[in-house]
């Protein structure tokens, strides 16, 4: 595991974008696993800036997102599809047909998850998976207690996650209670994993993830067993490590 200490959020974002752009330059038809949330926004902005300067070409890139709220349509402003379109896809030269997010409108969970697992395997596997870290150690929407062996599945979100994510909705009532998420197994099958973490509020969980026991109660702790993980975290997030 490689840990890069960044000065702050923007330094973290630039370092993470450097790693992603290296991946795209080395393999222009690579498969990127992407994340939502506030952590990757700066990284995506940096990638857009480099694309505008002609330093990056997304024409052959495929992307597979980690998760989506069950019940939200792609054009719902709180959906992860909408987040990805507005924060990245609409602003680079990616072929939208090669950008995948679980289908929030598929009410048959088994079908939604099997379809998504098929998309992941048909893509040839994820070359670089970008991850944020939830305050309770979740990755994607794999909440504490999730079996490490799972592929894409439907989850009941925990109260901590609903509370943390309510800032994006007009009220807590509107936060969906379920989501489709890539499983830990799918995440661990990615060839490389890049985790970005920022802020003092993430310091206690980052310490557990890096130095604590490997346990389903801290889903991200499994990353200790992956052979190609890079953590880019700012000083605040690394303050307890
Ligand atoms: C959300 C997402 C995760 C994200 C995490 C951290 O619930 N499902 O993919 O990484 O929580 O979010 P943030 O980066 O906003 O702290």
User: Is 67 labeled as catalytic in the residue annotation?
Assistant: yes
Q: Ligand 1 in contact with 132 (CB < 6 A)? A: yes
Establish whether 49 is a catalytic residue: no
Q: Is 165 a catalytic residue?
A: no
**E strand segments, the chain:** 2-6, 31-34, 62-65, 67-69, 99-100, 128-131, 153-156, 178-181, 192-197, 229-234
Local structure of 61: helix, strand or coil? coil
Distance 134 CA to ligand 1 centre (A): 5
Distance CA 38, CA 26 (A): 27
Does the beta carbon of 103 sit less than 6 angstroms from any atom of ligand 1? no
- DSSP H helices, 1-40, are 9-26
Q: pLDDT by residue for the chain (241 residues), tens digit each?
A: 999 999 999 999 999 999 999 999 999 999 999 999 999 999 999 999 999 999 999 999 999 999 999 999 999 999 999 999 999 999 999 999 999 999 999 999 999 999 999 999 999 999 999 999 999 999 999 999 999 999 999 999 988 889 988 888 988 889 999 999 999 999 999 999 999 999 999 999 999 999 999 999 999 999 999 999 999 999 999 999 9
Q: 37 C-alpha to center of ligand 1: Å?
A: 4
Give the C-alpha separation, 33 to 24, whole Å.
12
Active-site entry in 136, 153, 165, 208: 136
Q: Which is the catalytic residue, given 68, 103, 138, 165?
A: 138
Q: Is 153 a catalytic residue?
A: no
Copy the structure tokens of residue 9. 């959020």
Question: Probe ligand 1: pick from 12, 13, 16, 35, max atoms within 8 Å of CB?
Answer: 35
Predicted TM-score of the model (pTM): 0.96
Confirm or reject: Cβ of 36 under 6 Å from ligand 1.
yes
């Amino acid at each position: 595991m490689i840990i890069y200490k960044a000065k702050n959020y923007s330094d973290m974002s630039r370092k993470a974008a450097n790693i992603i752009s290296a991946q795209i330059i080395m393999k222009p038809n690579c498969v990127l696993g992407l994340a939502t949330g506030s952590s990757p926004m700066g990284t995506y902005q940096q990638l857009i800036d480099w694309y505008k300067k002609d330093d990056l070409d997304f024409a052959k890139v495929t992307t597979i997102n980690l998760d989506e709220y069950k019940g939200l349509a792609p054009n719902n402003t709180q959906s992860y599809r909408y987040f990805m379109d507005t924060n990245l896809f609409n602003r680079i030269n990616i072929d939208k047909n090669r950008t995948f997010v679980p289908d929030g409108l598929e009410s048959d969970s088994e079908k939604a998850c099997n379809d998504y697992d098929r998309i992941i395997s048909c893509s040839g596997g994820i070359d670089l998976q970008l991850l944020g870290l939830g305050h309770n150690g979740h990755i994607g929407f794999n909440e504490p207690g999730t079996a490490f062996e799972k592929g894409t599945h439907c989850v009941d979100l925990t109260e901590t996650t609903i509370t943390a994510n309510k800032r994006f909705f007009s009220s807590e009532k509107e936060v969906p209670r379920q989501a489709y998420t890539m499983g830990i197994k799918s995440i661990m099958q990615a060839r490389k994993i890049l985790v970005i973490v920022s802020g003092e509020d993430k310091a206690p969980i980052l310490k557990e993830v890096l130095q604590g026991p490997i346990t389903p109660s801290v889903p991200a702790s499994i990353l200790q067993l992956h052979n190609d993980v890079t953590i880019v975290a700012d000083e605040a997030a690394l303050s307890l490590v």
